[in-house]
Structure 1
Amino acid sequence: MSSKEKGRAKAEQAKGKAKETVGRAVGNESMTAEGRAEKAKGDARQAKEKVKDVFKR
């Protein structure tokens, strides 16, 4: 996994989790959903990079 993409994936995951948590705390369902989506995007990016690493071997 390239360090740049790995960092981007982790940042997206953290930002999404924070948004989801804040959304739940204030009762904002839209923000909660947006956070979940962002976190999923980070998860997908991380999975993509792991697959790329497997095929590099």
Structure 2
Amino acid sequence: MVAAVDWHYLLASGGHDPRNELNIVHIWTPACNQIKGTAEVTSTNIGQVYVRCTGP
């Protein structure tokens, strides 16, 4: 049993850049799926986008 891991990506500007948000989702979601994890994508009001990967 693997504990949940948060992979964070914080935008330098502190704002939202949809291109960067899509990049992090498209990089980390498949990485999470490769280890048979469950990926959940969330963004915050300070411009942080993260993929929470819950292991198998």
Larger radius of gyration: 1
Greater fraction helix:
1
Q: Relative contact order (alpha carbons < 8 A, sep ≥ 6): 1 or 2 greater?
A: 2
TM-score, normalized by length of structure 2? Answer: 0.40
TM-score, normalized by length of structure 1? Answer: 0.39
